[in-house]
Structure 1
Amino acid sequence: MKKIGFLSFGHWTASPQSGTQSAADTLLQSIDLAVEAERLGVDGAYFRVHHFARQLASPFPLLAAVGARTKTIEIGTGVIDMRYENPHYMAEDAGAADLIAGGRLQLGISRGSPEQVIEGWRHFGYEPREGESDAEMGRRHAQVFYDLLRGEGFAKPNPRPMFPNPPGLLRLEPFSEGLRDRIWWGAASNATAVWAAKLGMNLQSSTLKEDETGEPFHVQQAKQIRAYRAAWKEAGHTRTPRVSVSRSIFALVNDYDRAYFGRNAESADSVGYIEPTMRAIFGRSYAGEPDVLVEQLKQDEAIAEADTVLLTVPNQLGVAYNAHVLESILKYVAPGLGWR
């Protein structure tokens, strides 16, 4: 059994072929798709965060809106770039959104991906410390945020406050109990997956990772997950961690599916440089008749290791078509794999 969610990058473009012509279209359709996905029985609605791009960016207004419109579906991110974040303000936003959703937030965070602009985090007011890389700054922000979610007091109260204070040091409010156990780290390497395990975060492994061995993507990703779980066990955490992988999977069940994705039926892994010094391997897309997909996906070692699969959706094709994409996986593919 696996949880199945969708992951939307939230693109929009003013093109006649796009179902999302504006940011408003993308935001409102994201809410509508989450509502429809919940009705279909999808387990999670996840959203990508990219700054300086015509894509979803500030996640918490959207997460809160989805939380207010739904009742059961998990609501998450994949991922928030922590190089851009004020951990204290983020802790308040996350606590508020989680309370609105009734404790359903599943926040994926990371040090971020290649950007639209040069050192965009500087425009948000953040600078690495002396001798610190931007990736290290992102991990530092993540640790501060993660620690704040313990809900422990740390700030000395004003002796003459505007409103009465509880006794002792003060914490950030609103505080949402249990949110700390629902933080995920988006790891591109084995080392950062192990780092996240030691801290106690869940693991999000995406459709790309650092090419560390030259093996097929799903094999490298499965090894990353095993290394993460071994580090988790060694750290002595008492709860069972969650692990997700993201995949582009399209069941070809009608002519629209074949027109949109039939050409991807022979997709393969690809390799490229996402930073000057980082060689990355990108996982293949899956597209085919349902019985073919079932056999292909049975060979994916990383999917076998994960408890959650996030299906990337072509959000610019509209809510109705994306609901069809999700329903096709639930109806024709998931049962054959034992996911349902």
Structure 2
Amino acid sequence: MKKIGFLSFGHWSPSPHSGTRSAADALLQSIDLAVAAEALGADGAYFRVHHFARQLASPFPLLAAVGAKTRRIEIGTAVIDMRYENPFYMTEDAGAADLIAGGRLQLGLSRGSPEQVIDGWRYFGHVPPEGETDAGMARQHAEIFLQLLRGEGFAEPNPRPMFPNPPGLLRLEPHSEGLRERIWWGAATNATAVWAAKLGMHLQSSTLKFDEGGAPFHVQQAEQIRAFRAAWKEAGHTRAPRVSVSRSIFALVDERDRAYFGRNGDSRDQIGFIDEGTRAIFGRSYAAEPDRLIEELRRDEAIAEADTLLLTVPNQLGVDYNTHVIEAILTHVAPGLGWR
């Protein structure tokens, strides 16, 4: 059995060929797709966060809205770029959204991806300490966030407050009990996966990771997952770790599918360079008739290792088509792989 959700980047474009021509379209359709996915029996609605781009950005208003419109489905991010975040304000936003959703948030955090602008986090008021990198700053913000989510008091109360205080040091409010155990880290390397495990964060592994050894993408990703689980066990956490992987998967069941994705059947891993020459490997897409798709997915070692699969959806094709994409996987592919 596997949890299956969708992951949307929330692109919009004024192009007449786009089904999402404005930010309002992208946001409102994201809510509608989450509602539709829940009705289909999908397990998760996840959203990417990119700043300075025509995509979804600040996630908490959207997460709260989805939480208010749904009842069962997990609601998450994959991922929030922690270079941009004030962990104190983020703790309040996350607590409020999780309470609205009834404790269903699954927040994926990360050091972030290559950006639209140079050092965009500086515009948000964040500068790495002397001798530290932006990646180190992101991890520091994440560690502060994790500590704040514990709900322990840390702030000295005013002796003459506007409103009565409970006894002792004060914590940030609203506090959502249990959210600390539903935090994930999007790791691009084996080392950061191990770091996340030690801190008790679940693992999100996307369609990109740094190339560490030259093996096929899914093999490297499976190795990363096994390293994460070993580190989790060594850290002595008593709860079970979770692992998600993201994939672009399309079951070709009608003429629309074949028109949009029929040429993607020979997709292969790709090598590229990011962040000043860092060699990265990008995982392939899957597009085929259901029987062939089942056989191809059986050979993906990382999907086999993970407990959660996030389907990246082409959100600009509209809610109806993306609902069809999710339904095709749940109906024609998941049962053949034992996921349903």
Range into which the TM-score falls when normalised by the shorter chain: over 0.9
| Correspondence for 1:165 | 165
| Correspondence for 1:311 | 311
| Correspondence for 2:3 | 3
| Correspondence for 1:328 | 328
CA separation in 1, counterparts of 2:257 and 2:25? 23
Q: Is 2:199 aligned against 1:222?
A: no
Q: CA deviation at 1:278?
A: 1.3
SS in structure 2 opposite 1:272?
A: strand
Q: What amino acid is the match of 2:194?
A: V
Question: Within 5 Å, which residues of 2 pair with 1:1-340?
Answer: 1-340=1-340
Q: Which runs of 5+ in 2 are unaligned?
A: none
Cα distance per residue 1:180-202 (max 9 Å; x no partner): 11000000000000000000000
Q: What amino acid is the match of 1:203?
A: L
Q: CA deviation at 1:274?
A: 1.5
Cα distance per residue 1:198-253 (max 9 Å; x no partner): 00000000000000110000000000000000000000000001100000000000
CA separation in 1, counterparts of 2:218 and 2:181? 26
Task: Provide the TM-score with structure 1 as the length reference.
Answer: 1.00
CA separation in 1, counterparts of 2:262 and 2:139? 40
Q: CA deviation at 1:167?
A: 0.4
SS in structure 2 opposite 1:165?
A: coil
CA separation in 2, counterparts of 1:206 and 1:182? 18
Cα distance per residue 1:269-309 (max 9 Å; x no partner): 00001211311000000000000000000000000000000
- Sequence identity (%): 81
CA separation in 1, counterparts of 2:21 and 2:120? 25
CA separation in 1, counterparts of 2:315 and 2:278? 29
CA separation in 1, counterparts of 2:95 and 2:274? 33
SS in structure 2 opposite 1:327?
A: helix
SS in structure 2 opposite 1:129?
A: coil
SS in structure 1 opposite 2:24?
A: helix
Q: What amino acid is the match of 2:316?
A: Q
SS in structure 2 opposite 1:145?
A: helix
Q: Which runs of 5+ in 1 are unaligned?
A: none
Moved segments of 4+, more than 6 Å: none
